Amino acid sequence: MFALDHYNSACLYLFRDKWAGLLGHVSGEVSGGMQSGLLHPVSGLDHVLAMVAVGLWGAQLGAPQIWLLPIVFPLVMACGAALGVMGLQLPGVEIGIASSAIVLGIMVLFEAKPPIVVSSILVGVFAIFHGHAHGTELPHGESGILFSIGFVIGTGLLHAAGIGIGVIHRWPWGEKCLRAAGALVFMGGCYFLADSLGWIS
Amino acid sequence: MDLLMRQLAAKLQGMYRPAQVVVLASIIVMLASRTAYAHLVTSGVGPFYDGVAHFFVSPDDLLVVVALALAGGFSGKQVARWVAVVLPLAWLCGMLAVSVLPATSEVSPTLGAVTMLTSGLLLCACPTGAGWLVLPCVAIMGVVHGWLNGNAVASTGTSLLAGLGIVTASAVVGLLLSALSISLTAAWQRIMLRVAGSWIAAMGLLALAWQFRTVAS
């Protein structure tokens, strides 16, 4: 692997100014892979709404779901992204993404507390749609490994943001704020569903 | 060995916040960069340090060692001690095996992704005290990565000292992270290790799919 794989040595950007004169074979914008991957999960508001909602819901549910959901979502999302990257088609992806915001918004709005298995499956199913959409949109010419690292970290950070916001759940006013946030996610999901069905021109 | 592991664990606990700062600073520098260089020809400080630097800037090698070392520490002190010994030895054996086994420059990214996926799943899902599972995985993945590194070292005509630098770096990182993992005893810290494993597995899965897209196109 030494010096053969572009992505391996791409991290030399850490020392690019110091070593620029000492290194050969410039390979272009490979370092953009991580940056691109990190920003990709925040490229669509529908994705952001759903992923933050997962964190909010996890915060409402408490342990162990607060930790379990951020494990399930990125892992299953990577499965969906893998399907998309390999060109396998999945019907109704946009509808699935919009539905995820609607359902997760409802869960947060009503502070639903289903069993662990149900919440994990629910989040996992939606994660496939989100992952597939990202997978089909992955830009060509990026470094695969760096893009993957950035993509997973970006997704995880969105969950972390949701969990961080969800900390306010410990206060009575915070519970109401979280429910209001759930209502916003729900409304956003309705908008995106109408858009994906072509009801909004 | 036990004393050494405990001392390392104590020191790492003290270094926790600075380590966070270093990680954050590294990410910021990564994001600020624009141009990358494909081949490490020379760093100007000798082939041994070229190897050390290569290890730290190779995400597939680094993340696999991180996952295996954390999984070793997660499985208990005894397993962590063995990981600190088995990992570099396996890596070295893999490098030495280059003279026997055929070259594989075509599949090295795929193998790297597979080992990343496997090591992430191991950290994410292995039961506590599962040395019987962790140690064979460490040995196999150490050999695979050593072989891939050694293969590339040989094909580029780089000094074997560079390979020794890679092995040394993997040994040091493995030892430090095993000790760190042992020191993380709170429930939330253990769960964070599981989360880290799932993230590494997700990265590996996506990187693996990426390789198939390249093949398809």
Residue A26: φ, ψ to 5°:
-65, 130
- Residue A201 is predicted with a pLDDT of 66
What tens digit of pLDDT does each residue of A9-67 get? 443 333 344 333 333 223 334 446 777 778 877 877 888 888 888 888 888 888 777 87
Q: Which residues of B touch A13 (CB under 8 A)?
A: 29-30, 33-37
Considering only CB atoms, A71 lies closest to which of B109, B198, B209, namely B198
- Taking an 8 Å cut-off on Cβ atoms, the answer to whether B35 and A13 are in contact is yes
B104 or B34, greater pLDDT: B104
- Residue A8 is predicted with a pLDDT of 39
pLDDT over 50 at B24, yes or no? yes
Which range of B95-104, B135-144, B182-191 scores highest in mean pLDDT? It is B135-144
Cα B14 from Cα B58, distance rounded (Å):
27
Considering only CB atoms, A86 lies closest to which of B53, B149, B213, namely B213
Cα B109 from Cα B157, distance rounded (Å):
20
pLDDT over 50 at B38, yes or no? no
- Taking an 8 Å cut-off on Cβ atoms, the answer to whether B210 and A7 are in contact is no
Tokens of B196: 């880290």
Tally of residues, chain A: 201
- Which of B33, B55, B170 should we substitute to test contact with A (largest number of A Cβ atoms within 10 Å)? B33
Listed range (A18-32, A91-105, B84-98, B170-184) with the worst mean pLDDT = A18-32
Cα B55 from Cα B130, distance rounded (Å):
27
- Residue B108 is predicted with a pLDDT of 72
In the block, tokens 């892992």 appear at: A75
- Single out the residue of B58, B73, B13, B39 nearest to residue B197, CA to CA: B73
pLDDT over 70 at B1, yes or no? no
B13-22: long-range contacts (C-beta < 8 A, 24 or more apart)? B13/B183
What band does B120 get if pLDDT is binned at 50, 70 and 90? very high
pLDDT by residue for chain A (201 residues), tens digit each?
A: 443 343 334 433 333 443 333 332 233 344 467 777 788 778 778 888 888 888 888 888 887 778 787 788 888 888 888 888 888 888 888 888 889 999 999 999 998 888 888 888 888 898 898 888 888 877 666 667 788 888 888 888 888 888 888 888 888 888 889 899 999 999 998 998 888 888 876
What tens digit of pLDDT does each residue of B200-211 get? 999 899 888 888
Tell me if A36 sits within 8 A of B66, measured CB to CB.
Answer: no
pLDDT over 70 at B140, yes or no? yes
Distances (CA, A) of B62 to A65, A89, B93, B177: 29, 33, 18, 11
- Single out the residue of A154, A151, A153, A99 nearest to residue A123, CA to CA: A99
Q: What is the DSSP string of A135-147?
A: HHHPPTTS-HHHH
A106 Rama sector, left if φ>0, alpha if ψ -120 to 50, beta otherwise: alpha
pTM: 0.77
Distances (CA, A) of A22 to B41, B45, B164, B165: 7, 11, 22, 19
Q: What is the ipTM of this complex?
A: 0.73
- Residue A155 is predicted with a pLDDT of 85
- Residue A18 is predicted with a pLDDT of 39
Cis ω before B88 (30° cut-off from 0): no
CA angle A167, A155, A38 (to 5 degrees): 125
Q: Which residues of B touch A10 (CB under 8 A)?
A: 36-38, 57
Cα A69 from Cα A156, distance rounded (Å):
10
- Taking an 8 Å cut-off on Cβ atoms, the answer to whether A156 and B43 are in contact is no
- Residue B136 is predicted with a pLDDT of 92
Cα A195 from Cα A172, distance rounded (Å):
35
What tens digit of pLDDT does each residue of B190-199 get? 888 888 999 9
- Single out the residue of A126, A139, A137 nearest to residue A34, CA to CA: A139
- Residue A119 is predicted with a pLDDT of 87
Considering only CB atoms, B34 lies closest to which of A31, A75, A85, namely A31
Shortest CA distance from B112: residue in chain A = A1
- Single out the residue of B93, B98, B106, B89 nearest to residue B151, CA to CA: B98
| Beta carbons within 10 angstroms of residue A198's beta carbon | 7
Which one-letter amino acid corresponds to residue B75? S
Q: What is the mean pLDDT of residues B121-150?
A: 87
